[in-house]
Amino acid sequence: MKKTRLKKIYDFPSLHRKWLWGLGALILLYSFIAGDTGFYNQVKLVREGKRLEKKIVLEKARNENLKKEVQSLKTDKERLRLEAHKLGLGAKDEVMIIVDEKK
């Protein structure tokens, strides 16, 4: 009887397997939640993607506005006159002749 009792006390392989399975499950759970491909990281990436999409839309609108401004500076003579006055290239009562050098 004493021998079987000692054998049960020292029979740890089944207990070790349970602990190893539990530890493995915890590691997998941690990697799915907090690892590089985990749920938390995926949520952060989705939020960053949405933020970047909004920023792209704003930058496209800004780019269109700059294109219109460039076109205005190329063709609008009144705008050219006002910009020249801002730079101090002529007085308000002076007549400016704008020459298109590309022609």
pLDDT in tens, 48-100: 999 999 999 999 999 999 999 988 888 888 888 788 888 877 777 777 676 76
21 CA to centre of own chain: 38
Q: What mean pLDDT comes out for the span 9-19?
A: 67
Q: What is the pLDDT of residue 19?
A: 80
CA separation, residue 2 to residues 6, 14, 55, 56, 103 (Å) = 6, 21, 76, 77, 111
Q: For residue 43, is pLDDT > 70? A: yes
- List alpha helices for the chain, DSSP H: 2-9, 13-34, 39-75, 77-86
Angle of the 77-86 helix axis to the 39-75 helix axis, nearest 10 = 100
100 CA to centre of own chain: 43
Q: What is the pLDDT of residue 9?
A: 54
Q: What is the pLDDT of residue 79?
A: 83
The answer to whether the pTM exceeds 0.75 is: no
Listed in sequence order, the residues at least 6 apart from 92 whose beta carbon sits closer than 8 Å to its beta carbon are 85
Name the amino acid, one letter, at 41.
N
